[in-house]
Amino acid sequence: MDFDTARVRLINHLASEINDQRVLAAMSRVPRHLFIPPELAHLAYDDVPLPIGQNQTISQPYIVALMTEKLELTPDKKVLELGTGSGYQTAILAELSRQVVTTERIPELLQKAKITLDQLGYKNIEMHLAEESLGWKAGAPYDAIIATAGAPKVPDSLIAQLTFEGRMVIPVGARYDQELHLIIRHRKDNEVINLGGCRFVSLIGKEAWAD
């Protein structure tokens, strides 16, 4: 299969809805087919989520692009990611920021993602096995936080790990059906913007769902 041609076709499709050219350029550089099971490689550049094992998924490319765009990343920013998964979203973040700290609760997925990201040569990614408490407090504060799993509410502990004027994108709602929220932390009242419906796996831990 001609992955390069398929990737260009996907980026052209995303460009009709995603305005940040840096996000589109980053996605054009990252080989999504390396982050999914080989038997699904022919679907790598379709705009659909795909299973990656352990009852987890790699998000739809449009959702990856939208969430990344809303973070407004620049090369000086430090980002926290909850839910490494396949490592694909991690790679996109690494293309656009100074440092990515990412956590994953499933050891097998974390190890597999680390192998792929190392093979691709990323040096600005710090990977951790997730703790029961959400995020990674030792690395705080973060300029941006992205959660690739849904929570029943916006966790206060994550807000506390965000810089003032920092941005967080997180699915919030029921266990299998959520709304994507953008939260901008201010010194007084935080700004919350609803980006529309979405469907993610569950975020597990304190202030989220039980395993």
Mean pLDDT for all residues in the chain = 96
> 């690395």: which residue's tokens?
139
Among 36, 86, 104, 95, residue whose Cα is nearest residue 65 = 95
What is the pTM (predicted TM-score) of this model? 0.96
Active site amino acids? 59
pLDDT digits (tens, 9 = 90+) for 53-87: 998 999 999 999 999 999 999 999 999 999 999 99
Structure tokens at 61: 């490319």
Dihedral, CA of residue 122, residue 148, residue 190 and residue 126, to nearest 10: -30
Structure tokens at 167: 């941005």
pLDDT digits (tens, 9 = 90+) for 172-195: 999 888 999 999 999 999 999 999
- For the chain, list the domains and their CATH numbers: 3-198 (3.40.50.150)
Whether pLDDT at 1 is above 90: no
Q: How far apart are CA 61 and CA 81, in angstroms?
A: 17
Most distant CA pair in the chain, distance = 52
